Amino acid sequence: MNTKFNSTELVQQWPGFESHIIHVNGVDLHYVDNGIDKPVIVCMPGWPQTWYSYKNLALPLSGSYRVIVVDIRGMGGSAMPTNGYDKKTMATDIYHLIITLKLQNVTVMGHDIGGMVAMSLAYNYPQVVQKLIVADGLHPNEGIFQMPLIPAPGTFTEKIDNQQPYTWWMSFNQVKDLPEKLLEGRFRFLLDWLFSYVMLDESKIPAFERDIYANVYNQPERIRASNAWYQTFGTDIADAKSYTKLSMPVLGIASNVSYGYYKYALPSCASNFELIHLPNTGHYMFEENPEEVCKAIEIFMQ
pLDDT in tens, 191-218: 999 999 999 999 999 999 999 999 999 9
CATH superfamily of the 3-301 domain: Alpha/Beta hydrolase fold, catalytic domain (3.40.50.1820)
20: left (phi over 0), alpha (psi -120 to 50) or beta: beta
The whole-chain average pLDDT of the chain stands at 97
With cut-offs at 50, 70 and 90, classify the pLDDT of residue 61: very high
Helix axes 233-240, 113-124, angle to 10 degrees: 30
Dist. CA 128–CA 68, nearest whole Å: 15
Residues 85-101 have pLDDT tens digits of 999 999 999 999 999 99
Provide mean pLDDT across the span 18-23.
98
Half-sphere exposure of 62 (CA within 13 A, CB side): 18
DSSP 6: S
User: What residue type is assigned to position 190 of the chain?
Assistant: L
Residues 236-267 have pLDDT tens digits of 999 999 999 999 999 999 999 999 999 999 99
User: By C-alpha distance, which of 232, 237, 235 is closest to 143?
Assistant: 237
Provide mean pLDDT across the span 69-78.
98
| pLDDT exceeds 70 at position 8 | yes
**pTM metric for this prediction:** 0.97
SS3 assignment, position 20: strand
User: By C-alpha distance, which of 75, 81, 84, 19 is closest to 44?
Assistant: 75
| pLDDT exceeds 70 at position 28 | yes
151: left (phi over 0), alpha (psi -120 to 50) or beta: beta
**Whole-number pLDDT of residue 161:** 96
Spell out the domain ranges in the chain. 3-301
Other C-beta atoms within 10 Å of 177: how many?
10
Provide mean pLDDT across the span 10-29.
98
| pLDDT exceeds 80 at position 1 | no
Q: What is the DSSP string of 31-95?
A: EEE---SS-EEEEE--TT--GGGGHHHHHHHTTTSEEEEE--TTSTTS---SS--SHHHHHHHHH
Residues 109-150 have pLDDT tens digits of 999 999 999 999 999 999 999 999 999 999 999 999 999 999
**Whole-number pLDDT of residue 4:** 78
SS3 assignment, position 256: coil
**Whole-number pLDDT of residue 179:** 98
